[in-house]
Structure 1
């Protein structure tokens, strides 16, 4: 490939100006692709503190304690036996 050494060269300032113009053009393109969101629909999905949840039902399944698990007497979390730090006090490694 041949190079024309007589052609005017672009300085760093020219290159930075072009890149700024390109960025401005891209910014306008990104805004044109946005979808208008209905604020009322978006607000329905948020739970407010103190909301009335009396008509809501919670369905959970309680599984029985396994032989290799224990409940920490400090944090009251269920851990695997490998996390037991003090068998007398039944405290996990995180709490010890």
Structure 2
């Protein structure tokens, strides 16, 4: 899963036919939702999971913008990434509360 996450964010070239739509943002949410859920459900300290992924969201967009010539960083992608982290944390918290 980590390899797919990193490949999606750092692949040197992404060819998208037609205009980029809201589906791009859904992909970003899912790219950060999955590792958040995986880390939290695996028992990694929430501060580590959330901190690392919250830092990775804007850094990945900056890397795309400045270091990958065929990619462009988008601040709204970073917002979607952070929404994925929040959704992952919320899902785990609600799931644990419902099991009690």
TM-score range normalised by the length of the shorter chain: under 0.3
> Higher Cα Rg: structure 1 or 2?
1
Write 1 or 2 for the structure with the bigger share of strand: 1
- The higher relative CO (CA closer than 8 Å, separation ≥ 6) is in 2
Q: TM-score, normalization: structure 1?
A: 0.24
Structure with bigger helix share is 2
